Homo-oligomer: A and B are copies of this chain.
Amino acid sequence: MPGELNEDTVIISDQKEGTQIYNKGNFGYPMSGGGLELDLIEATFLVESERLQVTKDGVPMSFAEMFNHSSTQYDRFDIAYLVYRDMRSRGFVVKAESGHFDLSVFPRGSVMSNSRPMYLVRAVSERDVLELDVFSKEVAHTESKGKKLLYGVVDEEGDLTYYHMSSRDPRGRSLHSSSKYAAEGRLIGERVLITEESHIEYLGKKGFYGKMMGNILQLSLIESCFIMEMGDLNVTTQSGEEMTPEKMIELGVKTQEEFELRLDAFRDMRKRGMVVKTGFKYGAHFRVYEGSPDTDHAKYLVHSVPGDKMMMWPEISRTVRLSGGVKKEILFCRAGEPREYLEFKWFRP
């Protein structure tokens, strides 16, 4: 005896069939008077996998008809369904949720009543936007409950990519230590050049700032701004004008993209003892070392993003993909107060 469609649920009245469906995969919700109630996502999946026949007014429904019907009942049913069926096909017990998350995923073979979800999953389309502020709250909330937050991203073709997010608190061993005398630098183009040997020793060798060109140390604008703010660098222009940190920032904003956004993250990471270098070759804002760049490999690629930024999934996919090939952890630094570091990782459930 099949299940009968009833607007937004399917009822299996037959006790034996209901019990079997419930016991083999934890589908549905046992009803107090006997029988089993399935939600539409479960029923559609059982029809697709030919484990259940559903009738409407006694007439059997095809998978396409079930899918169509469910889509009229629920907004974005297609997205939730594609993630649901993917998780189910991986052997997990999955339950549709309403509220902050779309799906709860339980361990394989578990009985829901005696297990807690492994993952809380949001099912999204690759075309959805991710508001970073909202998102970072979600991460914190899930972590405080000891659960894993996954995003299941459905691409144009219905393929799934999972991302696992967590908050991080990266630290390094190279704290900036101030010098007695400020170094002298000359601004040329978008570089500050240091020629005095003791200054090169202090900034370049000890501080891991800049890069040598012959016997000259070149500092980037962003490095120069930070060291000036620390009071350890004076900069003059070709024409002898003295620069202030404010004027340097102005120059950076005028000549470079996202200068203040990057400076915000640079400053914070340097204060955390990390050595921060450009990530240009890796397609991210920064590559970041916990200790000396001469002996360590960069541990992180960091991309600085504004707190109110709406991120698109293709952008996240691109950035996470980058980190895969180079064995570095990718962090998004949410700039401004409170500054936060969020890790996005590919995840195979």
Contacts and interface: CB of A to CB of B under 8 A. Distances in A.
A305 to B, nearest CB: 14
A158 B211 contact: yes
Interface in A162-208: 186, 188-191, 193, 195
A52 interface: no
Contact of A322 (B79, B222, B277, B318): B318
B71 A189 contact: yes
Given A188-B68, A214-B63, A256-B127, A155 B193 contact: no
Interface of A: 48-49, 62-64, 67-68, 71-72, 76-79, 82, 85, 125-127, 153, 155-159, 161, 186, 188-191, 193, 195, 210-211, 213-216, 218, 220-222, 238, 255-257, 277-278, 280-284, 312-314, 317-319, 321-322, 324-325
A contact patch SS: mixed
B214 A257 contact: no
Contacts of A195: 62, 64
Contacts of A222: 156
Given A64-B195, A157-B211, 9 more contacts: A63-B215, A68-B193, A85-B213, A126-B278, A126-B280, A155-B280, A156-B221, A159-B211, A257-B314
Contacts of A71: 188-189, 238
A218 B157 contact: yes
A63, A157, A161, A282 pick with most chain B CB within 10 angstroms? A157
A162 to B, nearest CB: 11
A208 to B, nearest CB: 11
Contacts of A85: 213
B283 A220 contact: no
A10 to B, nearest CB: 17
Contact of A318 (B125, B155, B283): B283
Among all A-B residue pairs, the 4 with the closest Cβ atoms: A283-B318, A325-B325, A155-B280, A156-B220
Contacts of A216: 63-64, 67
A322 B283 CA distance: 9
Contacts of A278: 126, 155-157, 159
Copies in the complex: 2
A283 B156 contact: no
A344 B26 CA distance: 52
A48 B235 CA distance: 23
A158 B321 CA distance: 26
Contacts of A314: 257, 280, 283
Contacts of A161: 280-281
Contact of A68 (B77, B153, B155, B186): B186
Contact of A218 (B158, B312, B322): B158
28 contacts: A48-B213, A64-B195, A64-B215, A67-B216, A68-B186, A68-B188, A68-B193, A71-B189, A76-B189, A78-B188, A78-B189, A78-B191, A125-B190, A126-B278, A127-B255, A156-B221, A157-B220, A158-B191, A159-B280, A280-B317, A281-B321, A282-B321, A283-B318, A283-B321, A283-B322, A321-B322, A322-B322, A324-B325
